[in-house]
Structure 1
Amino acid sequence: MLRRSAAVLLALLLGSALGCSSDVSDATGEPSNVLTFGSAAATPAVTVRATVADGLASPWGLLVLPDGDLLVSERDTAQILRIAAKDGTRTVAGTVPGVVPGGEGGLLGIALSPDYATDHLVYTYFSTAGDNRIARLPYDPAQPATQQLGSVEVLLTGIPHGPRHNGGRIAFGPDGLLYAGTGDSSNSALAQDKASLAGKILRLAPDGTPAPGNPFPGSPVYTYGHRNVQGLAWDPQGRLWASEFGQDNWDELNLIRAGGNYGWPVVEGVGGRTGYIDPVVQWRTSEASPSGIAYADGGIWVAALRGTRLWRVPLDGDHPAGAPQEFFTDAYGRLRTVVADRDGTLLLMTDNTDGRGEPKPGDDRILRVAVS
């Protein structure tokens, strides 16, 4: 059954995600444009099968290696860990040089080269004292522990850095290109500035140059008008979806269109305004703060930090098939990342900080989740 907050959400959502939206008043009496969904979708059974690893320190990025083992980036230690899938044995692959952690910055997203079988490259997104950067480095697990990472090759610099809103998710798309979600670095005006790399989704060639065919020639900017993008995922039809943190009212799940303006700071959530693309789903910020996302089992799965739950948005093509469904509410704390593994399970990673980037007592872990 849907939990109470999802039912409340459904009652609130009264327009069309991809069609027209209507002005109504929310519980505060303020006007807001909201969404409705079609007929209810079946709710799958979702259970934790096993704890893959625990005792992690501010984990952020997670990827699956070709042999099934995992690589994890730790934001504050700047370490990349290898975790054996069969028994959870942990090896420190190495420390990424140049990382300066603090607030929401540090070693953030990681991604595997599409040609990893031959080039053995791992891509990273990280903070320095003055900016956020995208880099790559070779990974050789045959080397001794802590020495398995090679020299860093910086591909892109100058992504604005702040104590908050640094974005950080990177992923290779089905087109073989590298996508990166950035934040507005707490300077909202930068999101609408196409000359800035803040508040954007970037699209790069594997060598870090702007991808051919980008909507703004010579620029890595793919979309703009974002507040803080930390989730990227593709559905089987190759459509890109992205999660975005709102400010006071609405967090978002967006369907990404090249060159699109997603509204921030002019619009938060659904605005129904010409020139801005509305989200497909929105949540109250207390129920989401969406970070990593993944496609699996006919929907987009969303790891919620402040909301301390896992959301599933069932899809019918490019729109929701029903209301969002929630799982594990308050069971494991803040959820940072969700990844679809090749065996049909999900890998769910916690990040139990106090919301200001400071660790608090807790046991961050990776859980293997089965979906019926």
Structure 2
Amino acid sequence: MPKNILIINSLPCDNRPLVNLFEKLKQAGGHLFYLLSIKSGLLNQFQAESWPGKKARLGPNLNIKINALIFLILLPMFFLLYLFRLIYFKRGKKITSVILLNWNEKIIFTLIAKIIKIKTIWLEFPDANFSNMPKLIIWLYKINSKWADIICFTGFTKMRLKKIGIKEHLIKIIPLGIKLNRFERQDTIFNKLARAGRKGFQRKYFTVGAIVDLSHQQKIEPLLQAIKRCLTIIPNIQLIVVGGGDEKKPLSWLAKKMEIDSIVWFVGEQSRAKNWLESFDVFVAASDKPSITDLRILLRAMSAGLPVIGPANNGLEDIILENKNGILIDTSNSEMLAQEIIKLQQNRQLRLRLGKEAKEQIDKNFSISLMAEKFEKLLL
């Protein structure tokens, strides 16, 4: 039976993976989604789908102590304001479930939803900030957690939730899913660059690729050092870094200082990741703290049949099975990273085997259809 679901969000991050999930749930079950959001990103995505969404005031970012104090002072006002608003959504829009994405809305809405008998679902993202939160905010979070179904995307996030005192029986893992596309290695972007005769470009190349948000802390510097180490063994190696952000210029300068700027390409933010994945021979997951977007990109790289290298002990163990469908190492160790890149370049059969196993893993366990099917059961 179709459900009407309210999403409440104060996160600034890209939520395309969630929009894909909501699209699939709408197609499969006829569910309707409504949105209250403090940030324009998810709101714009809802408007692009012609789904109803409105802006809402949910308070400041809580990982700063003064902001947390202001939020706590305003909390009674938020509670009264949104009590009446949630009653309106229940009666006027027939809302049966509410999905809460960030700390603010989880503290404001969970008790209200319990009082008026609306099912509450929390989504916990892989890069959620638990360590820097004020103790009182953590305490309120834990108190409210007993009235919610808590969904996380990796076992690593579940472990972190248990560490701050969340009861294990409240936490359920639903792996992130992607739309399964059939990648064909035909005419790539870099083949076109080669034909155009771009100076410094080599037609015969071994391409290491990374797709990252350069606005955040990433492990790009060790990757640059690893590429330089590889040059003596792989003279035709090159590195492609897709992604925009404040760190792009400093990293470009660093590559020049290291005298590898002729083989390192910072191509900025790109809308069609598929085209770039088709140009890579190896994919490196360079995120220091993988976000939901980083997980999605990793899944797409593996779905494309690429051998992948990712950071160990960082939440990717549910996806990358060591030496079966990928490689997990300390990616901050440039020597170790270089050794793995060289091993993959020199062993084509290993690359093919890891890529094949990676694709099979994603097709079997990480489709958007499977994710929606598991999520559907929560809404019943």
| TM-score interval, smaller chain | under 0.3
User: Which entry has the higher C-alpha Rg, 1 or 2?
Assistant: 2
Query: Which structure dedicates a bigger proportion of its chain to strand?
Result: 1
| TM-score normalised to structure 1 length | 0.26
